[in-house]
Structure 1
Amino acid sequence: MTNIMVIDINATTVYRIRKILDGIPVEIVSATTMYEAINRVGNLQSVLDLIIIDVNLGSEDGYDLITKLKEINPNLMVIISTSLNTRKSFVRAIRVGANDYILKPFDDEYMKQKLLTHIKFIDSAKTLPATSQKQIDTSIYKSIKKAVRENHELLIGLILVYNKKNPAQPANNVRDIAIIKGLYKDLEESLNIEDEVISYSNNGFVIVLHKKSIHMKTEVVALYKGICESYFINKNVDEFGFDIEFINLPNEIDPRQNALSILAGRIEKNIG
């Protein structure tokens, strides 16, 4: 179930959205003023997924409202649907983190396809497994213990995906999280049965490769770079960049050192 709020001073818009999504598993609520929207998002912040807003709210500033709503719920996806067709309005939409900008009057079928695409992202993000830092640490520890016990080399890698415009800003809306986490399947398909890929926060993956020597590291990095590049090209997404680092145990670091911290530090320096 996708939870949507439509914010518009024109009640007809809410009616049309309800009609467009008839038969789709969504819950739609509405608001016509800044006060009402803030109050409702505050009450629904744990379940609300998406807002559709006309930023032309009479005397109230819809862009300021988006900023306030994202302070309450940073994970909100935002679709602006308005008759404002100026460069200034587009730029402001980007600055407040809008995920889409649809001009009014809109065609119902066009709007439906747009909304279905965003709903698909939301549903995908909700079904992606979450991995805690403790689970990651435990998994890496077990892998290192196995490598030491069986006396074989181990490659541990970290892939971090970032927004090219603001590398320091982690993915925090369901669309971006769904796109990034969708890379999991492609990475998983590259693994041997004893290897492992683990989700790392909302914007990365840890890869553990058993019985991979230090001489194979360049080849491995090239493989995963190719997988990431192909994935984002196929998704027609160009706002994300990524960086990959692998480290070999025991040739590059002592197994007792924290490999993940070292990898994260290296990537941090690379991204700058």
Structure 2
Amino acid sequence: MPPSDLSKQSKDYQRIEKAIHILEETAFLQPDLKKLSTQLNLSEYHFQRLFSRWAGVSPKRFLQFLTLEHAKSVLDKSRNLLDATLDSGLSSVSRLHDLFLQCESVTPGEYKSRGEGLTISYGFHPSPFGECLLATTENGICGLTFIQNGDRDNVMEFLSRRWKQASLKKEPRSTGKFMDQIFSKNPDRKTPLYLYVKGTNFQIKVWEALVRIPQGALVSYQDVARYLGRPKSSRAVANAVANNPIQYLVPCHRVIQGMGAFGGYQAGPDRKKALVAWEAAQIQEELA
């Protein structure tokens, strides 16, 4: 995907997120698409084109993916398949759009050294879900964080805090090479993307479980805790999810509350809903 396409998608996303936020603020029971398009300073025609271009579905269909009823339905279906999905990495939900990921965790010595002697390249890039910070090492991707409200300093602080002794170098040309592979709708399933993760043993177990949840599926914090053999540790799972340093690739957005509510997200609840609905749209397009 050319950088220009990612830039266009990133700009489109800003309006998508605003539409989701308006829906949240006004608590529409039935979305008034004409009113939404007016508030986004778009004609109904261009409003339709915006969603078709960004998500591949109509606004009405996209917004249906954001309902509590839809979330509950997907949650129930995913829960029935959860053990098989996490154990094998496969389910009835297609994985054609999922990336081939290989996770490597830091050694105990590397964890203790807090990144001493490690060089981390980073860059800010447009994505289909807004601007993001991508950070890489010679061992793999160690950070992907979506930027909220244009606050680059906040995500840089998060990266620096995780790798206190590492050398951080701004090298967008180097990190930009990964963007197409990360956000391609048809990723190369033969070429793995390597993730280099740093966390406690429990956090890493949670993140490894999340990587196995396929696109289009949703699970609860309780489901993940149960799978890990810690059924009473849903709060600890939630903390691990909240501290996920590699958003999107480690799909913490696919974990929601047990009653179907989307819950919080490090990069903002509106972005979480956009991610979930966008993935649902991709699955629908594939099955059509």
TM band (smaller chain): under 0.3
Quick one: higher RCO (CA 8 Å, sep 6+), 1 or 2?
Answer: 2
